[in-house]
Amino acid sequence: MAEPRPHKRGVNSSSPVPAEPVGPSEAAPRPPIQGPPLKRAELTRRLSSLRGFPRPEARLEQVATPAEEASALLWEALLRGDLRDRCVVDLGCGTGTLAIGAAWLGASRVFGVEVDPQALSVARENARVAGVEVTWIEAELGSPTPLQLPAQVDTVVMNPPFGAQRRHADRPFLEAVEVLLRPTLEVPKGGAGSPVPAPGGALYLLANSASQAFIERWSMARHLTIEEHRRSSWPLPRTFSHHRESRGQVEVDRWILRRR
């Protein structure tokens, strides 16, 4: 596979098209990756080897992100220049799949935010075995204490709850994105002139397809450009007692949103 090249930004598309087959501990910033990144197939293989939830909880909708789908999301972020040498946050990181994948692909710093301490324990062990540095933060999004990170965030990746057990369960995650990708000012090179808006941050989101209309409205109201919207069908193994079939399907949308 050819060396990934940054994708030209500013392409708007909101029409679904088939997807390709497919507390806190402070860690030192990870040095920039040297040489070519992982191949896509190797990334998928590594992600599939990570441990999942030991005892999935229905109230938290703890269903693992399929390795192929996680790989596709992260690979697209790499191609668009939003991973390598970037500060990346995985909101609702679970056992660390997206966070660890971002570190493997050369993110300079990675944070994983999760409310479940058992899932975070598995995430820490996954990162240790994977040989990557991730700062894991135990926090409940939407709580009175807002999430604060000791670094300017470039990219957010997340697969939040779909709201099957609790209506609007994804809203605190989207509210956190608003804060993390809030526009900032930077001084021009050379220090001459007035501060100017910094380049826009990006959100790579996996969401229930039923949320399409809401996400389109939410993005427009917050001046986020929809760069990509793809729909795919995920296999859904029987995980909880209310799952009647041994294996089902769920329609999932992949969104790429960028602050203007």
Q: What is the mean pLDDT of residues 6-15?
A: 36
Burial class (CB in 10 A: 0-12, 13-18, 19+), 143: exposed
Is 119 within the bounds of a domain? yes
Please report, for residues 47, 101, 109, 113, the alpha-carbon distance to residue 73 in angstroms, rounded to integers and kept in the order given.
12, 10, 18, 18
Model pLDDT, residue 35 = 39
Q: Is the pLDDT of residue 192 over 60?
A: yes
Per the domain annotation, does 225 fall within a domain?
yes
Q: State the chain's mean pLDDT as an integer.
A: 79
Check which CATH number belongs to the domain holding 152 and give it. Answer: 3.40.50.150
* Residue 51, in any domain of the structure: no
Find out whether 172 and 39 touch, Cβ atoms under 8 Å. no
What mean pLDDT do residues 74-95 have?
95
Q: Is residue 150 included in any domain, yes or no?
A: yes
**Higher-scoring residue by pLDDT: 143, 44:** 44
pLDDT digits (tens, 9 = 90+) for 127-171: 999 999 999 999 988 777 778 888 889 999 999 887 656 676 778
**Domain assignment present for 130:** yes
User: Which of 26-30, 63-67, 152-156 comes out lowest in average pLDDT?
Assistant: 26-30
> Is it the case that residue 51 has pLDDT exceeding 50?
yes
Domain that holds residue 124: 67-182+198-238+247-260
Is 207 contained in some domain? yes
- 8 located within any domain: no
How many domains does the chain fold into?
Answer: 1
- Please report whether residue 34 resides in a domain: no
